[in-house]
Amino acid sequence: MKSRYVFVTGGVCSSLGKGVTVAALGCLLESRGYTVALQKMDPYINIDPGTMSPYQHGEVFVTNDGAETDLDLGYYERFTASKLSRKNSISTGQIYNSVIERERKGDYLGRTVQVVPHITNEIRNRIYALSKEEIPDFIIVEIGGTVGDIESVPFLEAIRQMRFEHGWDQVLFVHLTLVPTITVAGEAKTKPTQHSVKELLALGIQPDVLICRISTPMSKEMKSKISLFCNVKEENVISASDITSSIYEVPKMYKEEKLDEVVLKSFGIEPKKSNFIEWDKMVKKILNASKKVQIAIVGKYISLHDAYRSVYESLSHGGIANDVIVELVKINPEELDKSNVKELLKNVNGILVPGGFGDRGIEGKIVAIQYARTKNIPFFGICLGMQCAVIEFGRNVLGFKHANSTEFNPSTEFPVISLIEEQAEIEQMGGTMRLGAYPCIVKKNSLAYQEYKSEKIFERHRHRFEFTLRYKQEFMEAGIDFSGYSPDEKLMEIIELKNHPWFVGVQYHPEFMSKPISPHPLFAGFIRAASKVKI
Q: Active-site residue numbers?
A: 383, 509, 511
Of 463, 485, 506, 522, the one binding ligand GLN (CB under 6 A) is 463
Phi, psi of 107 (to 5 degrees): -70, -15
71 touches ligand GLN (CB under 6 A)? no
384 touches ligand GLN (CB under 6 A)? yes
Please work out the total of residues on this chain that contact ligand GLN, with binding judged by CB under 6 A.
10
Residue 238: strand pairing partners: 211
Beta carbons within 10 angstroms of residue 47's beta carbon: 17
Beta carbons within 10 angstroms of residue 244's beta carbon: 6
Closest of 232, 309, 315 to residue 526, by C-alpha? 315
Of 4, 18, 462, 500, the one binding ligand GLN (CB under 6 A) is 462
356 touches ligand GLN (CB under 6 A)? yes
383 touches ligand GLN (CB under 6 A)? yes
* Cα 350 to Cα 347: distance, rounded to the nearest angstrom: 9
493 touches ligand GLN (CB under 6 A)? no
Closest of 463, 470, 497, 469 to residue 485, by C-alpha? 469
* Cα 463 to Cα 467: distance, rounded to the nearest angstrom: 12
Least CB distance to ligand GLN at residue 384 (A) = 3
Give the nearer residue to ligand GLN in terms of CB position, either 139 or 388: 388
The residue count for the chain: 535
365 touches ligand GLN (CB under 6 A)? no
357 touches ligand GLN (CB under 6 A)? yes
**Contact region for ligand GLN (CB under 6 A) — 105-113, 122-130, 336-344, 353-361?**
353-361
**Contact region for ligand GLN (CB under 6 A) — 108-116, 150-158, 289-297, 460-468?**
460-468
464 touches ligand GLN (CB under 6 A)? yes
In the shown chain, the binding pattern of residues 417 to 456 toward ligand GLN, with x for contact by CB under 6 A and - for none, equals ----------------------------------------
Secondary structure in 3-state letters for 381-423: EECHHHHHHHHHHHHHCCCCCCCEECCCCCCCCCEEEEECHHH
Give the nearer residue to ligand GLN in terms of CB position, either 123 or 417: 417
Of 465, 485, 503, 523, the one binding ligand GLN (CB under 6 A) is 465
**Contact region for ligand GLN (CB under 6 A) — 249-257, 340-348, 388-396, 463-471?**
463-471
* CA 157 centroid distance within chain: 28
Residue 330: strand pairing partners: 297
* Cα 531 to Cα 431: distance, rounded to the nearest angstrom: 38
* CA 42 centroid distance within chain: 15
Query: What's the angle, vertex CA 45, arms to CA 44 and CA 49, rounded to 5?
Result: 70
* Cα 38 to Cα 18: distance, rounded to the nearest angstrom: 12
**Closest CB to ligand GLN: residue number:** 355
407 touches ligand GLN (CB under 6 A)? yes
Give the nearer residue to ligand GLN in terms of CB position, either 154 or 436: 436
Give the nearer residue to ligand GLN in terms of CB position, either 182 or 429: 429
Answer yes or no: are the C-beta atoms of 78 and 515 closer than 8 Å: yes
DSSP per-residue codes, 481-497: EEEEE-TTS-SEEEEEE
Strands 68-69 and 4-10: unpaired
**Contact region for ligand GLN (CB under 6 A) — 98-106, 218-226, 369-377, 459-467?**
459-467
Strands 404-405 and 379-382: unpaired
**Contact region for ligand GLN (CB under 6 A) — 116-124, 226-234, 351-359, 451-459?**
351-359
Give the nearer residue to ligand GLN in terms of CB position, either 43 or 510: 510
**Contact region for ligand GLN (CB under 6 A) — 184-192, 225-233, 294-302, 349-357?**
349-357
Give the nearer residue to ligand GLN in terms of CB position, either 252 or 463: 463
Torsion of the alpha carbons at 332, 334, 339 and 342, rounded to the nearest 10: 20
Least CB distance to ligand GLN at residue 65 (A) = 17
Least CB distance to ligand GLN at residue 432 (A) = 11
Interacting residues toward ligand GLN by CB under 6 A = 355-357, 383-384, 407, 462-465
